[in-house]
Structure 1
Amino acid sequence: MRINKLLSNYGYCSRVETNRFINDKRVIINGELAIPGQWVEETDTILLDGVPIKRKEKVYIVLNKPVGITCTAAKDVKDNIIDYINYPEYIFPVGRLDKESQGLIIMTNDGELADKILNSENRHEKEYIVTVDKTIDDNFINGMSEGVKLGEKITKSCKVNKIDNNIFRIILTEGLNKQIRKMAKTFGYTVIRLERIRIINIKIDDIDIGKWRNITEDELNELKENIK
């Protein structure tokens, strides 16, 4: 595999950050300075800051992200999620939830698990509660469910049901940039509150906004079964 994937899988950094480490001459492979995207074997001698790398203990956290926090591992971005959670070990968000939205984010240092969750071909469910600026009608519910044309792409069919006059639940199996906001806008609605409450089997029922907890062993086992 490439050095970027190896360091991510081992829990040291993101694939993008690996390039920064390499450009700063912090990574040595078999006695030579690494180059971006270099292919490696787990049997190679790989040093980071002069210390041999090894698999770190895996961390799995579920955070109820508040509005105003940006889901990025880039520390130079203001109000980034890494600084917000301030975890003592390197972890990163699995996917994104836009800055204006709140709710469930999985944080981990397990690159392999993250890749499987984010693989849209597996049609993993993500559930949201959404408030819009006016009363929802059947045309909106049916149209959102059947798929919406966004530019050159038509969104996959999804489950949508009305909760209140201007609140609906939506379950997606893909994750386009600001997808729900763009879908609603197509029908003339503006999203004024968006909360993600579930990713596959992981829920935020018992987590206050801005707080986090470790994913339980039972939850993790079920999650891994679902993403095989």
Structure 2
Amino acid sequence: MKTLTIIPARMGSTRLPGKPLADICGKPMIVHVAERAHAAKLGRTVVATDSIEVLQAVQAHGLEAVMTRSDHESGSDRIYEALQTLDPDGLVEAVINVQGDLPTIGAELIIKALAPLHDANVDIATLGVEITAESEKTNPNVVKIVGSPLAQENRLRALYFTRATAPWGEGPLYHHIGLYAYKRAALERFVSLGRSYLEQRESLEQLRALENGMRIDVELVSGQPLGVDTPADLDRAREMIAKAL
């Protein structure tokens, strides 16, 4: 498939204002993410932003960025606008959406997110990792995947995503990693749909796809990238990247 990797980045974070430009070892966080996504070599890697400061910071490090509107409700809407700008002829078949607050993500995880899309029946692909910390099992900020194992090793068909502790009973629980790969037609359909009932109730955008009969498969991986949402997360990212230099 002809692919395009897009990283949505907006400056309006409430918990960590100016998050994309937060300095991590001499580079803005969004640049760390873009460099790691670029290393995955899944087509062009482009940051989609509503901020001229982010655009300039990305370009100053030799990477590609594009301006998008400031009124988007979600990253999916932003990447769809960017897709239309970057590929007006419709040649791209799949779009990888890498969150702009994952500065420690490995290129190998981004590559694995694309794997389920090789099944013709799959609309959207994403990642999951088994939960090992007991505290995460009951933490509503940790989104859990409820899914059925497939014949392919380390893969689930997603049936539901929830902030609750689920499913019930003996067996592993899986933490959803918010990185998506969309078939182009699936992304076009997804952004055309209104916000769904369960999406609004759980505050989880991916439920819109499931409620409308779209198929999401999950590639299970062993590593969990650090998502930066708070100043404490940012300090931890700085420590992790400093050790890797």
Question: Which one has the bigger helix percentage?
Answer: 2
| Higher Rg of the two aligned structures | 1
Larger relative contact order (Cα-Cα within 8 Å, sequence gap ≥ 6): 2
TM-score w.r.t. the length of structure 2 is 0.28
